[in-house]
Amino acid sequence: MTSRSTPLDDTDRAIIELLQADGRMPFTRVAAEVGLSEGAIRQRVQRLTDAGVMQIVAVTDPMSLGVRRVAMIGARVSGDAEITALALGALDEVEYLVATAGRYDLMFEVTTDDDAHLLQLLSTLRSRPDIVEAEAFVCLKLFKQTFSWGAR
């Protein structure tokens, strides 16, 4: 998802919040909730997805799918963090990536096949000249995962 600036009206926000609560909600029901036609909802959802404002996806708990290793990694970088973020974002293991204003320039979630794969990924990251430090926080159990950030 990108950070494009797309103006949202109250109807767009309502559609987003309804679909965050139930991504499989039929457009006929969304239309009834917000007071538009099904066709208008379909067009708005298409515009919002095309603009990168939202995605409609199935979310899993990778740790519940078998032997998988999930970790958060904090990285301090030298040089332009956005250039490093573009490179890290291209890695298959990276699921979520943000720039931060704290101890680390970038924080990202990775999913690997097992501990050996995580160790190999960490070695690869630490050998990059633009990464000064990479610290892994292995996830042992998922307690909460929501995507109801809303659109306010």
Same domain, 14 and 78: no
What's residue 143's pLDDT?
Answer: 84
Query: Where in the sequence is the domain holding 20, given as residue range(s)?
Result: 10-50
What's residue 42's pLDDT?
Answer: 94
Considering the domain boundaries, does residue 89 fall inside one?
Answer: yes
Same domain, 66 and 133: yes
In sequence order, which residues have a C-beta less than 8 Å from that of residue 98 and are 6 or more positions away? 106, 107, 108
Domains identified in the chain, total number = 2
Judged by DSSP in three states, 124 sits in helix
What's residue 67's pLDDT?
Answer: 59
pTM of the model: 0.69
Considering the domain boundaries, does residue 118 fall inside one?
Answer: yes
Q: What backbone phi and psi angles, to 5 degrees, belong to 151?
A: -130, 25
What's residue 15's pLDDT?
Answer: 93
Considering the domain boundaries, does residue 146 fall inside one?
Answer: no
What's residue 75's pLDDT?
Answer: 98
Considering the domain boundaries, does residue 134 fall inside one?
Answer: yes
Same domain, 70 and 41: no
What averages of pLDDT result for each successive group of 10 residues across the chain (152 residues)?
Answer: 68 91 92 95 94 82 72 97 97 95 96 94 97 95 73 60
CA distance linking residue 39 with residue 44, whole number of Å: 9
